Structure 1
Amino acid sequence: MLGGDVVTRIRIIVLVMAIVVIVASVALIRRGGETAGAAKVTAKVEKAHAQSIVEPRADERAAATVTQSIAARTVRIDAATDAYIKTTIEDLRNALAAVPPAAAGAALPAAPVDRLRDQINAGIDRANRSADAAERLTPLSAKPTGEPVTIDKGILTEVYERLAEAVGAVWRGNTRAAAVKLERRCTLAILSIGRAPADCPAAH
C-alpha cells in the first residue's frame, strides 16, 4: 500500500491538472465567444456598408431616369413647336398668296392683316404660356392709322415668316429653361431626401 505522503501528492497532482483543464476550457470558450462576437460585428459593419453603397446608387439611378424623362419630354415639345410654327408660316404664305394683284388703274388690294396678326398672336400666346416662361412676348396690337403704304408681297411675306420663327425660338427657349429648372429641382430632391416632388416624371 502507498504511504500517506504519496497519496497526498497524487491528489495534489490530480487537483492541479483538473484546475489546468478547467482554466484552459474557460480560456477556449472565452476566445471562441470573442471570435464569434467579432465575426457578428464585422458582418453588421459589412452589411451597413453595402447598404450605404446601394442606397446612393439607387438614388443616382432614379435621378438619371428623371433627367432622361425630362429630356425626352423636352424633345417632344420642341418637335410640336416646330410643327406648329411650320404650319403657321404656311398659313401666312397662303393668306398673302391669295391676295389678287391690282387691276390696272384700280386701288391696291388690302393685305389680310387681321388674319396674319391673329395667327402670330396665337403663337405668342403659346410661347408665353410655356411653363415658367423665362421670356415673354408682347402680342401685336397696332391699330390702323389711316396712312397706308405699299410693300411688295414677297417682302411682307418674309417679314411675317421671320416673326413667326422668332416666336418659335422664344417658345423653345422657354421650354428648355423650364426643363432645366425642373431637372435641377427633381434631382436635388432625389439625392437629398430620396424622393422627387409630385410634378417630376416618375423615377422608374
Structure 2
Amino acid sequence: VNENVSLATVVGTVVATDADANSTLSGWTIVSGNTGSAFAINAATGQITVAGAINYEETPSYSLGVTVSDGTATSAVGTVVVTVTNVAEYSDVFGSSSPTADDNGDGISNLMAYALGAMSPSSVVLPPALNTADPTKLTITALIRINDPKLNVVGEYGTTLGTWEMASPITGTDSSDQTGALAGVTKKKDFSVSRGTDSKKFLHLKATQTQ
C-alpha cells in the first residue's frame, strides 16, 4: 500500500475456514503489530482498511496478528503482512530544511527547486523559460515533478508584480517537446494565459504541498 493513501483505503480482506461447516466466523480482531493503530479490521467481514498515518521511512512493513471466532472458540493468531510503498516526498530530497529556504543559494526556494525536479539540496535546476511560440499568449515552460501526489504547481498571473490573480490558477499542459524530462519523475509543461489588451502582464509559477 502506498504511504500516501487516504484513510479508509481498503488494503485487503482476511479469509478463514472452520472444520464445522455450520459455524459462522466473526469477531475479526487485530491483536498485535498494529503500530500507531495504522489499520482497522471489520469485525464481521475481515476487511482491513487504513485507519491512521503510515510512513515508509518510519515503518516500511507491518506484521498484523489477526484472530477470528466461530462463536465458541477464538482462532490461533494468523499473520497478515502489509508492505508500505515509498512515495516521493519533499523530505526525501531536502530533509527537514524549510520549503521557503534556499539551500544552494541559487535564488530558487527549496520547494520550487523540488517542484522543478531537484534530486538533492545542491541540485541546479532549469528555471522556467519564456515560450514565444504564440504571440497572443504569455507562456512559460518548465520541467515539473510529477511523482509526488502531494505536490501542486500552478501558474499565477497579474498586471503588476505586487498582485497575482489567485482565483483562477493556470494548470500546466504537457509540452509537445519533452526533451530533458525524466520518465516517471518530471514532465515539461506549458503554463499559458492570454495577453489580452493589458499593457503589461506577468506570469509566475507557484508550488504548494499538502500534508
Same fold, judged at TM 0.5 (above): no
TM-score normalised by structure 1 residue count: 0.23
Work out which of the two has the higher radius of gyration on C-alpha atoms and give 1 or 2: 1
Which structure is higher in RCO with an 8 Å CA cutoff and minimum separation 6?
1
- Greater strand proportion: 2
- Greater helix proportion: 1
